[in-house]
Structure 1
Amino acid sequence: MDSPLTTVGLPVALGIIMFGLGLSLTVADFQRVRRHPRAVAIALVCQLLVLPVVCLGLVVLLDLPPLLGIGMLLLAASPGGTSANLFSHLFHGDVALNVTLTAINSIIAIFTLPIITNLAIAYYDREDSVSLQFSKVVEVFAVVLVPVLLGMLVRSRRPGIAAGADKPVRIGSAVILAVLVIGILVDQRDKIGEYFGDVGLATGLFCAISLVVGYVVPKLLGVTEAQAIASSMEIGVHNATLAIYIAVEVLDTTEISVPAAVYSIFMFAFAGLWGYLLSRRTAKVAV
């Protein structure tokens, strides 16, 4: 999809989203792991190990076409998105934990994302036509982390400006992602019915499982309700824009970006519904 939407709009969109992440970060967010090591470790294990295995199981069970299967694993390897913080705030999660998880996982993903994606490429024996070089991923993360650092700089030097810009940037990020998703679906409109038939069930199940696993596993392992909600939103709300960017600009295959685009449609609806159900449950327990 070689169009202004991807060559200009996609990098700008990713930059705005990552700048918004930076506005919410301080150095203390990286240090907070020492105060809540259990909650952070459980959430990271779920996101980095459990969910990719679950995703692979869905890909194999549903017998997805190779490029869509690779796109699913690329999505599973992507870190949490900034929208996770918003959902966590709305449904009384530990937003500080969300911020810490997003910050740490965005760094870890530099190494885990190419490993998981290349394993998927190898599984489908597509090394001859698709490859995700580690150096390219480092270049991508170097570019996207610059806006994060700029956002952190604004936060530290001008906290009032950062606070005022936080909400507009979050809303803008959601709008930008919606535009990207629509653009991809329009670009692939001749096959969109086929894609939804192939990957709709997989992405819907993966989204639901991600949200539930992100809540249930931490709760079973003894973390607080607020931390479990934060973990659920962090694991269920992926940085789909990053997955789309890597698929289109690095792997140069729009079809690989389709799972991330379709997942985004489920993601906001399912996260809102799941958060509402958790809020109702918490309210009943409190009574």
Structure 2
Amino acid sequence: MDSALISVGLPIALAVIMFGLGLSLTPADFRRVGQSPKAVAIALACQLLLLPLVAFGLVKLFDLSPLLAVGFMILAASPGGTTANLYSHLFRGDVALNITLTAINSVIAIITLPVLTNFAISHFIDDSSRVGLQYDKLLQVFAIVVVPVVIGMLVRRRSPRFADRMDRPVRIASAVLLLLVVLGAMLSERDNIADYFAEVGLIAALFCVLSLGVGYVVPRALGLSEDQAVASGFEIGIHNSTLAIAMALTVIGNTQMSIPAAVYGVLMFPIAAVFGVVVRNRAVAGATDEKRSLDQRSR
């Protein structure tokens, strides 16, 4: 891949996305964990425990090549993306829960992402000495993740109105930069892109559907409300693909490992939209049936 995209474009894209996240955060978003501990604990358990297991099972089932398998595990360990908040808003999820989960999970990922990546490299790649984590670059990536978030939070604290005005432009810029990063990752492998989509497209789509499903069904089964389950579904199904790509390209220095995140970054948006329509229609149908049942009882 073009070195300028890796050394300049990718860090800028990630920094802008995380700055946008910071603009939407306040210290109260972190304190909200104490107000909704059950919802946060269930969603984080789905993200940190179930999702890596789902990804591991899929890569084993599809017998992916080692580098692509590691790429999927990196993707599974990446926290939710800021776009999850937008989807949750559009489909009437608990946006406050989304913001809290994104904030907490982004901090936790500083530990869990390298741990799971190391496990994946040691498990899937026999000669890990050729493809390993570069911890100085890992620190650089997380500096790009954490510092812009802190700056964004400081901007919001100093000027909430300015932060609100900047929210939409920064979201648009984040989406455009994410698209450019994804296209760049694919362009670098243009000779093999058809093969990668053939090899990775189906599993990426399945992983997205399962991520959204796990994030929604498990919380509902454990007693969370509909809006909390919708928020959890989007949070777990919409990953920070840019961070996963940065991990593969900048920290590990392997283009093939970035392909799963790049393909997922393309597929997750339409799949998440369909998921939103399905769960919203299901909720509306359920409310209608409940109202009809109450009307019949009152007669």
Q: TM-score, normalised by structure 2?
A: 0.94
The alignment status of 1:2 with 2:33, answered yes or no, reads no
The 10-residue stretch of structure 1 (142-151 or 235-244) with the greater mean CA deviation from structure 2: 142-151
Shift in alpha-carbon separation, 1:197–1:218, aligned structure 2, 3 A: same
For the pair shown, which has the larger CA radius of gyration, 1 or 2? 2
Inter-partner Cα distance in structure 2 for 1:34 and 1:118: 32
Matching residue of 1:240: 241
Shift of 1:105: 0.5
Match of residue 15 from structure 1: 15
SS in 2 for 1:132: coil
2:228 equivalent in structure 1: 227
2:207 aligns with 206
Cα RMSD of the aligned pairs, angstroms, is 1.1
Q: Kindly indicate whether residue 94 of structure 2 is the aligned counterpart of residue 84 of structure 1.
A: no
Match of 2:159 in 1: 158
Aligned counterparts of 2:140 and 2:16: Cα–Cα separation in 1: 17
Query: Would the aligned equivalents of 2:135 and 2:251 in 1 still touch at CA under 8 Å?
Result: no
Count how many residue pairs are aligned between Structure 1 and Structure 2. Answer: 287
- The AA in structure 1 aligned to 2:128 is E
* Cα distance per residue 1:103-140 (max 9 Å; x no partner): 10111111111111111101122412111255543332
Deviations 1:151-202 (A, max 9, x none): 0001000000000111111121111111111111111010111111211111
**Counterpart of 1:84 in structure 2: which amino acid?**
A
Q: For structure 1, which runs of at least 5 residues remain unmatched after alignment?
A: none
Cα distance in 1 for partners of 2:37, 2:56 equals 28
Question: What is the distance in 1 between the residues matched to 2:185 and 2:114?
Answer: 23
Equivalents in 2 of 1:139, 1:173: separation in Å?
20
Find the counterpart in structure 2 of residue 42 from structure 1. Answer: 42
- Which residue pairs with 1:107 in the alignment? 107
Deviations 1:195-253 (A, max 9, x none): 11211111111000000000000000000111000000000000000011111111111
Matched letter for residue 102 of structure 2? T
Aligned to 1:260: 261
Counterpart in the other structure of 1:218? 219
Name 2:170's counterpart in structure 1: 169
1:132 aligns with 2:133: yes
Q: Match of 2:62?
A: 62
Distance 1:209 1:121, change over 3 A: same
Amino acid at match of 2:177: I
Provide the C-alpha distance between the structure 2 equivalents of 1:146 and 1:130, rounded to a whole number of angstroms: 27
The answer as to whether partners of 1:233 and 1:271 remain within 8 angstroms in 2 is yes
1:79/1:238 contact within 8 Å kept: yes
The letter for the 1-side match of 2:120 is A
Deviates more, 1:178-187 or 1:130-139: 130-139
1:116 match: 116
Q: What is the percentage of aligned positions where both structures have the same residue? A: 59
Residue 291 of structure 2: aligned partner: none
2-structure distance, mates of 1:150, 1:126: 40
Distance, in Å, in 2 between the alignment partners of 1:273 and 1:205 is 14
Structure 1 CA distance for aligned equivalents of residues 140 and 224 of structure 2 = 36
Amino acid aligned to 1:6? I
